[in-house]
Structure 1
Amino acid sequence: MLMWVAAVIAAITSAGLAPPAADPLTVSVETADADRFAAVFDSANGRPTAEQLQHGYLDPGSYGVRVFTPDRIIDAYHLAEAVAKRPDFYARAINVCLPVVKGTTAELRATYLAFRGLFPELPLPRFYLVVGADNSGGTAGPGAQVLGLETLCGLADTPEKLREIVRGFYAHETVHTFQSAAGMEELDDGLLSSVLVEGAADFIATLVTGRQIDPARATWAAPREAELWQQFEADLATTRNMKWSARKPGTPAAESFNRWIGNYGSAPKGWPTEVGYWMGQRIWQRWYDRQPDKRAAMREMVALTDPAGVFAQGRFQDALPAK
């Protein structure tokens, strides 16, 4: 077995609390957490207190809730405050969108079957649907992908659109589970690695689903690629050798990071959310086109052993003279 595959599997299985791997033929949409939130919400007439959310939703929550809590749900008080500000928004998520997501098991299985073809040796994650503070559509942890119902619901104005969005998230977050197990998250050495992590997830998700993950963002960005690259390279210089975790709000480095990544709800004026995902996808596309061994290229997208090398081959050459 290839060394990188062995390392990924070992990392997942040694996680201790990680759930068992999913079978693409029998995997299902696990919505017990969202159902539990809905029960608390309804019993409180749309105004649950922090105590009610703690005891009725968070305390009995699944592994998915535990993955989603840090930096997203945060705690019961933060969640209660978010719900109190927009009770109708959460009511729509429960009453309109939850039944739609429950009906996407076929999309989840089709996505996982495609991943089995790309990465036959890797264990596939369990899927959990939770409710958060409307600050994240999804994340991944060892052996699991977790989606935030209310945020996904807010992105879709029709059931068909929601199904498309959810399938894109199924694919994107699955890639993140592979990356996390391979140690990709430990890179944390600047804007470039963050963009490559997200860009790889979108590139592979597009390959798996057969469609662009965010068509509106791609449509906006494509004709602006040259000018975006000039800004991107300037921001790379500003953030070089600075860890994501060391950003200080209000500094030029933080502004450079947030222009591309982590700006859900706060993108630059006139920009779509998180254009860095598209930029990373474009870097990987140009790099991928140069690789003779496409299977090995897929493994590099998960492991990211040479960010500088990927950037050198995937750079938009029309933006600036080659360095």
Structure 2
Amino acid sequence: MKIGKRLLTVLTLWTGIVRAAGVDPLTIDVDARDALRFARLMRDGAVPTAATLQRDYLDGAGPGVKVFTPLRIRDARHLAAVVASKPDIYRYAIRECLPQLPALRGDLRAIYLAFAGLLPERPLPAIDVVFGANNSGGTAGDGRQVLGLEVLCPPGTTPEQFRTTMRGFFAHETVHTWQADETPAALADLLLSQALREGGADYLATVVTGAIPHLDRDAWARPQEARLWQEFQRDREAIRGSRDDVNKRVASPQFRRWFANCGSAPAGWPCEAGYWIGMRIAAAYVAQAADKRAAIRDLLELRDPAAILKASGYGK
């Protein structure tokens, strides 16, 4: 029986067999070529100069380093100063965790296969592991996720801890490559929007890995969830009522109580507790939805954070 090409295309799309352009989950691997180039600059106890880093790391770098440079690495001089101030952080990650990357290939492919089944229309990103300026574990951009190894593997990290961390980042940063830009409604409701962007990524990470990110934060938050929600709502309303521009609202004490505060979180709090709040709202929203895949797509588009909160029933 012959089937016309056009009809075959329609049937294939309808059955969900065709994936959007992106990497193949069966062959995806971590691209660590730039990380290995950096590691060679620190052989035999060397601490690379700005000129060396420019010539042998930043010049001719792959796309991952280019994504990491503007807001993280900044430039060769800044990177050299950070490496010189904390060389043992870099040496530990080079010695203990860089060699472990090939063993994580199976975890990465399992996570990507789970995402391929959950959201077959979404392109899966390439993954680069690089060395940055010790200020970012990961980011997403240009159809790829880029992970900073010196942050993900601080001194004392065990192989099992590193595996857990990397599994979480593989999943979390993938979600960020799919999220839409902020809408005017999201920018107006900045704290809730940020919670759903980061917490939504953590929620989907739990779906595909079966593990809750940052168990220590989860253990701290659950017994006091009602109080935390009240504080979050108070800070949310304060930011919504502000006439300051986005940069000033992001820098406000109300925003920094929940985000961008690792090393400066409130006393007794884990850093970035807003991720946990957003994860709980996202989970509630999907649980309430009749069409759960459509609900997940709503979380990625994030057109109206307040509507998602209301429909979730969270906090009521």
TM-score in terms of structure 1 length: 0.86
> Matches of residues 1-323 of structure 1 in structure 2 within 5 Å?
21-42=22-43, 45-154=45-154, 157-179=157-179, 182-184=180-182, 187-189=186-188, 190-240=190-240, 244-247=246-249, 249=251, 254-314=252-312, 316-317=314-315
Deviation string 1:100-151 (CA, Å, 9 cap, x unpaired) is 1232111111111001001111111000001111111111002100101000
Structure 2 unaligned blocks of 5 or more: 1-8, 10-19
CA contact (8 A) 1:33 1:62 kept: yes
Q: CA separation of 1:167/1:248 partners in 2, compared to 1, >3 Å: closer, same or farther?
A: closer
Letter in 2 for 1:261: F
Larger radius of gyration, structure 1 or 2? 2
Q: CA separation of 1:248/1:21 partners in 2, compared to 1, >3 Å: closer, same or farther?
A: closer
What is the CA–CA distance in structure 2 between the aligned matches of 1:78 and 1:185, rounded to whole Å?
A: 34
What is the CA–CA distance in structure 2 between the aligned matches of 1:183 and 1:155, rounded to whole Å?
A: 35
| Identity score, percent | 49
CA contact (8 A) 2:203 2:282 kept: yes
What is the CA–CA distance in structure 2 between the aligned matches of 1:147 and 1:233, rounded to whole Å?
A: 32
What is the CA–CA distance in structure 1 between the aligned matches of 2:313 and 2:77, rounded to whole Å?
A: 44
CA contact (8 A) 1:41 1:48 kept: yes
What is the CA–CA distance in structure 2 between the aligned matches of 1:317 and 1:247, rounded to whole Å?
A: 24
TM-score in terms of structure 2 length: 0.87
What is the CA–CA distance in structure 2 between the aligned matches of 1:222 and 1:103, rounded to whole Å?
A: 33
Structure 1 unaligned blocks of 5 or more: 2-12, 14-19, 319-323
CA contact (8 A) 2:250 2:256 kept: no
CA contact (8 A) 1:203 1:281 kept: yes
CA contact (8 A) 1:200 1:281 kept: yes
What is the CA–CA distance in structure 2 between the aligned matches of 1:207 and 1:155, rounded to whole Å?
A: 29
CA contact (8 A) 1:72 1:133 kept: yes
Please report how far the alpha carbon of residue 177 of structure 1 lies from its aligned counterpart in structure 2 after TM superposition.
0.2
CA contact (8 A) 1:83 1:133 kept: yes
Aligned CA RMSD, in angstroms, stands at 2.2
